[in-house]
Amino acid sequence: MDDLEKRMLKEVAELDSLPVGAFNIRSNGASEARNSTANIQIESRESGDGINVYFKDGTKNESCHIPVIISKSGHKECVYNDFFVGENCDVVIVAGCGISNCGGHDSQHDGIHTFHIGKNSKVKYVEKHYGEGTGTGKKFMNPTTVVHLSEGATMDMDTSQIAGINDTYRITKADLGPGASLVMHDKILTNFDQTAKAEIVVELNGDGSSCDIISRGVAKGESQQDVVIDIAGNSACHGHAECDSIIMDKGVIVATPKLKATCVDASLIHEAAIGKIAGEQIIKLMTLGLSEQEAEQKIIEGFLR
């Protein structure tokens, strides 16, 4: 792995060296390094287009890192990663993709992650997408995340796309069994003429299930974002969605809430707000010595934290 790839790895997975625990590092379409542990088994799919990761029942306090790096201009791939988490687990899964494109050809990563989470298991999932490079080739990233939560299972997702992706279509679909819980923090920053589309669809199927979806977006330059949060309450459940956005320059954001209740005991709430940075926030930080630009940057940094 060269210095560029190491830096990308640091950017998307906060890794300075090979991680402890299970990992699979994919670089330009090939597995660069892989490690399975006694409880976490990583296998290539027979079709060769991704991996299957198996977590034994009762696996606790273990992590699995599966970062993807693309540094060859023009490299395009569609990868399927399936996670089979047994019962009573408590694990952390860190994904993420970085594209560095200094060439003239478009690069693209489409990652389809499917999670089968067993009874009473707890999963923390972190996914960070990042693009860079001065070439004319574009960077495309289209992640799809499908989550099946069994009875009593919980998933805490922290997904973000911070910079440098020209166009993205992010799909998240989740279905929850009885007592299952999903918390999702999704953050997107777009700039220049970038576009981002996000669809988050949650089916609360089991009694006592709940979701809390927090989506935050910042659109700078002439970038455009289109966010749809769609929650279906099919049981005695609780669903909450909060879609907060900041627009700057000539940015455009469309936020579409959709709530559907098919059970009289379903309780669903959607909050959405779009606006520029409040002037009083900038002034407050200026009274602490920051310039207007520094204040804006600090506010966005906090907003997308």
Partner 1 sequence: MLELQNISFHADDKDILKDINLKIDDKFVAITGPNGSGKSTLLKIIMGIITPTSGKILFDGQDITDLAVNERANLGISFAFQQPVRFKGLKVKDLLGIAAGEGVDVTKDCKYLSAVGLCAKDYLNREINDTLSGGEMKRIEIAMAAARGGKLSLFDEPEAGIDLWSFQSLIKVFENLRRVTNGNIMIISHQERILEIADKIIYLKDGVVDRYDESAKIMSDLNMGRYGCGCAYSRKEGACNG
According to CB under 8 A, which one of 33, 192, 283, 297 is a site residue for partner 1? Answer: 283
Question: Any contact of residue 285 with partner 1 (CB under 8 A)?
Answer: yes
Candidate segments 46-54, 82-90, 228-236, 282-290, binder of partner 1 by CB under 8 A = 282-290
Annotate each residue in 182-221 with x if it binds partner 1 (CB under 8 A) or - if it does not, as one string: ----------------------------------x-----
Quote the tokens at residue 171.
């799909």
Decide if residue 158 touches partner 1 (CB under 8 A). no
* Contact between 240 and partner 1 per CB under 8 A: no
For partner 1, the binding residue among 114, 244, 258, 259 (CB under 8 A) is 244
Q: Which stretch binds partner 1 (CB under 8 A): 108-116, 134-142, 146-154, 292-300?
A: 292-300
Within residues 85-144, the interface with partner 1 by CB under 8 A covers: none
Return the ∠ at Cα 134 (arms to 131 and 137), rounded to 5°. Answer: 75
Confirm or reject binding of residue 297 to partner 1 (CB under 8 A).
no
Among residues 230 and 296, whose Cβ is nearest to partner 1?
A: 296
Q: How far is the CB of 291 from partner 1 (least distance, A)?
A: 5
Supply 74's token pair.
């023009």
Positions touching partner 1 (CB under 8 A) are: 216, 244, 278, 280-281, 283-292, 295, 298-299, 301-305
